[in-house]
Amino acid sequence: MNKRLKRLLQPGFRLYFVTILIFAGVSLSMQHFELGGAQLAALAALTIYYRAREKRRQREVIQHIDTLAASVDSAAGGSMMSCPLPMLVVNLDSEEIIWSNAQFRGMSGLSDSFLSSHLGDVVPNFDLKWLVRGKSENPSDISLGESTYHVYGSLIRPFQGRGDRSDTTSLLAVLYWVDTTELHKARKVITDSHPAFGIILLDNYEEIVRGMAESEKSSLHAGVDERVTAWLQDTGAYFRRYDRDRYLFVVDNATLKQLTEDKFSVLAAIRELTTADNQPITISIGIGIHVKQFNEASGFAQLAIEMAQGRGGDQVVIKDAKNFEYFGGHTREMEKRTKVKSRVIANALRELMLEADQVYIMGHTESDIDSVGSAGGVALMAATLDKPAYIVINENKTAATVLIERMKEEHPNMFITPLDAVMRATSQTLLVVVDTSRIDFVESPDLLDTIKNIAVIDHHRRSANYIERTAIVLHEPYASSTSELVTELMQYMLEPKQVTRLVAEGLLGGISLDTKFFTMHTGIRTFEAATYLRAAGADMTSVKRMFQTNLDETKLRYEILNKAEIIRDNLAIAAQDALVPLALAAQAADELLDLRTIAASFVLSPYENGVNINARSMDVINVQVICEKLGGGGHMNIAGAQLTDMDVLTAKNMLLEAIEKYFEEMG
């Protein structure tokens, strides 16, 4: 019921007026002219009485306000009537305007006959909750017409009118309106003139120019220069190339806003460029804003460009003192890794392990086969160096039960709980985090705080709350899986005969999971890793058994599929009200993607006090960006999110909003 209807139904003149008017209309329509005339006469008398009563009431209010004001500022000889500020007196309960001075009526357009006017009619979307909470000023400014005002207020006790006690239970709110329009304009001018420091980086530059003739390199640079210059022309930006693959530009905030509204069209313009062998050219842009010094802006821009690279490139990341903001990033990642980097990381990890007294390996919450399989590979590398290695895991919340049971048969003491790990950790303990780089996604945040020596191996796109306190990081969003990355490291740390069949099958299972058995998100290095693991004894039939389900689980999976609905012609959403195993929900999301015309799928299922979302796509739609809007993350093709303290229906509505926002940003 809206406020207008509530006010209409409140006992008072409006209700009486409308009631009598209705009865009069009915009487006249039934040709009871005498009765109808009497009712209209009664209505006229009631109106005259009401107007007289309200005028008397208004005079009494004004007299009362003058009396109150005189008692407060008699020393200054002033009163509220002569206050130069616009003023308003409102009934706190009904929000009915009791009185206003000429200044307020002039600025708001309120007529002199303001009786029975309500605050919401004069100042839309303005409430008095801050006064009820004991505040003396509204926390945000109010726009009224072309002006902006800061509102101060206080509460006073109402008077008791002559024989009229209708308002004795209410408080009156006295509001003072200070015009801040010029202040806002000045603040906007200053804010708009603040500098934004940007870095443009050519993605995958070393791989693109390898084997290129100098003339081709010159043509590449000329093409990029031309498009970036066209993008920034007429903006007054400072723009220079300061390295083979890096550019610098400086604009003010007003210009940056225009570039943002344009959705950084330079990304698409650069994407039109290709090499002689049809390799696409992409750029990443990192921008630092809202700073006091230029060196701070440069530092923010560098962090932003690193974040853009960590999320796969071909996007813009804006960094201020508190947050990262993302634009673009909707295209598939290109493979961008060198064996030199893997060898360097492998040697550094080996040195860290040799210096440690024990090695803990920890994955993400709700662990899967990629997380557990890659942890097993790291544990094997530590064991070959005669270092005790333990996998930190919550076995009650995992989708890799079959693999864990097989590993426990050979190594009964390999798995420990997060609590035991915290209790047994020392200052020399090395913690290797696998398959996540987010602080809030690790199996045990407490363990992360306890151990000072940390290494991270991850393939997911980087998020804002990534683990910063690390000794080494192998973060490659271009890799199919963390198991693929660990397999590459193993080749530099172990002899092939040292890799056990169980570890090889765990790693191959992790690759199979994240590539949907080598049909998605694969590259040359993915197949090289799989070949290495097959040579180490991994059997694909045995790996396939890790993904088997029983008849009841199969029925439940098809029950989920049966609840699927199609939106936007190519998105499938299935919301399951009953608890389902994590692996089962993920399998259902995979199967939905097998439907013809479906470009992305989402499966929602309850868990504990929240909802789990599994998302999959076929390259056209970036589900990682969608899930990130819900606090999750992942890859373009495989992502997820966990929403706490809500039911499935609420989570579904939030997902639908995130999807709509994603397509709005896509344009």
Tell me: do 428 and 575 sit in the same domain.
no
> Is a pLDDT exceeding 70 seen at residue 201?
yes
Tell me: do 466 and 344 sit in the same domain.
yes
| Domain containing residue 634: CATH number | 3.10.310.30
Number of folded domains in the chain?
5
Q: Rounded to an integer, what is the distance from CA 125 to the centroid of its chain?
A: 26
Residue 408 resides in a domain: yes
- Closest Cα to residue 574, out of 610, 616, 607, 609? 616
Tell me: do 445 and 469 sit in the same domain.
yes
Residue 205 resides in a domain: no
Q: Which residue, of 515, 545, 575, is where some domain finishes? A: 545
pLDDT of residue 162: 46
Alpha-carbon gap, residue 648 to 557, rounded angstroms: 17
Tell me: do 456 and 571 sit in the same domain.
no
Alpha-carbon gap, residue 517 to 634, rounded angstroms: 18
> Is a pLDDT exceeding 50 seen at residue 73?
no
Half-sphere exposure of 500 (CA within 13 A, CB side): 16
> Would residue 621 be called left, alpha or beta, if left means φ above 0 and alpha means ψ between -120 and 50 degrees?
beta
297 neighbors 288 (Cβ within 8 angstroms): yes
The secondary structure of residue 439, as a DSSP letter, is G
Q: What is the rounded average pLDDT of the residues 317-346?
A: 75
| Domain containing residue 315: CATH number | 3.30.70.270
Alpha-carbon gap, residue 164 to 60, rounded angstroms: 11
Tell me: do 532 and 613 sit in the same domain.
no
User: What is the pTM (predicted TM-score) of this model?
Assistant: 0.65
Tell me: do 128 and 104 sit in the same domain.
yes
Q: Rounded to an integer, what is the distance from CA 226 to the centroid of its chain?
A: 34
Own/partner contacts of 188-191, CB < 8 Å, gap of 24 or more, are 191/253
Range of the domain at 182: 83-187
Alpha-carbon gap, residue 44 to 369, rounded angstroms: 82
For residues 163 and 617, which has the higher predicted lDDT (pLDDT)? Answer: 617
Sequence-ordered list of residues with C-beta below 8 angstroms from that of 641, at least 6 positions apart, any chain: 612, 613, 615, 627, 630, 631, 632, 633
Tell me: do 321 and 344 sit in the same domain.
no
Tell me: do 591 and 567 sit in the same domain.
yes
Under the banding of pLDDT at 50, 70 and 90, the label for residue 119 is confident
Per-residue pLDDT tens for 338-394?
A: 567 788 889 999 999 999 999 999 999 889 999 999 999 999 999 999 999 999 999
Residue type at 480 in one-letter notation: S
pLDDT of residue 547: 87
| Domain containing residue 344: CATH number | 3.90.1640.10
- Closest Cα to residue 480, out of 512, 525, 521? 521
> Is a pLDDT exceeding 70 seen at residue 14?
no
Q: Which residue, of 187, 204, 234, is where some domain finishes? A: 187
User: At 566, is the secondary structure helix, strand, or coil?
Assistant: strand
- Closest Cα to residue 115, out of 44, 18, 19, 47? 47
For residues 256 and 549, which has the higher predicted lDDT (pLDDT)? Answer: 256
Alpha-carbon gap, residue 582 to 441, rounded angstroms: 16
Tell me: do 71 and 127 sit in the same domain.
no
Q: Which residue, of 34, 53, 76, is where some domain finishes? A: 76
DSSP string, 64-96: HHHHHHHHHHGGGT--GGG-SS-EEEEETTT-B
Maximal CA-CA distance, the chain: 110
Residue 198 resides in a domain: no
User: At 615, is the secondary structure helix, strand, or coil?
Assistant: strand
287 neighbors 184 (Cβ within 8 angstroms): no
- Whether the CA torsion 645, 647, 648, 650 is positive or negative: it is negative
Residue 179 resides in a domain: yes
Give the rounded percent of residues in the chain with a pLDDT score beyond 90.
33
Residue 454 resides in a domain: yes
204 neighbors 210 (Cβ within 8 angstroms): no
- Closest Cα to residue 471, out of 356, 364, 349? 349
Per-residue pLDDT tens for 484-515?
A: 999 999 999 998 789 999 999 999 999 999 88
Q: Rounded to an integer, what is the distance from CA 508 to the centroid of its chain?
A: 33
Tell me: do 299 and 409 sit in the same domain.
no
Per-residue pLDDT tens for 409-459?
A: 999 999 999 999 999 999 999 999 999 998 988 999 999 999 999 999 998
| Domain containing residue 153: CATH number | 3.30.450.20
DSSP string, 230-251: HHHTTTT-EEEE-SSSEEEEEE
Q: What is the rounded average pLDDT of the residues 83-94?
A: 81
Q: What is the rounded average pLDDT of the residues 532-550?
A: 90
Tell me: do 532 and 481 sit in the same domain.
yes
The CA-based dihedral angle spanning residues 655, 661, 664, 666, taken in that order and rounded to the nearest 10 degrees: -80
Helix H or strand E segment including 416? strand 415-416
Residue 600 resides in a domain: yes
303 neighbors 319 (Cβ within 8 angstroms): yes
Tell me: do 461 and 447 sit in the same domain.
yes
pLDDT of residue 501: 94
Which structure tokens are listed for 347? 């040697």
Residue 352 resides in a domain: yes
User: At 100, is the secondary structure helix, strand, or coil?
Assistant: strand
Alpha-carbon gap, residue 219 to 47, rounded angstroms: 84
Strand partners, 573: 565, 602
> Is a pLDDT exceeding 50 seen at residue 233?
yes
Residue 605 resides in a domain: yes
Per-residue pLDDT tens for 259-299?
A: 988 889 899 899 888 877 777 788 999 999 987 777 788 88
302 neighbors 199 (Cβ within 8 angstroms): yes
611 neighbors 605 (Cβ within 8 angstroms): yes
609 neighbors 636 (Cβ within 8 angstroms): no
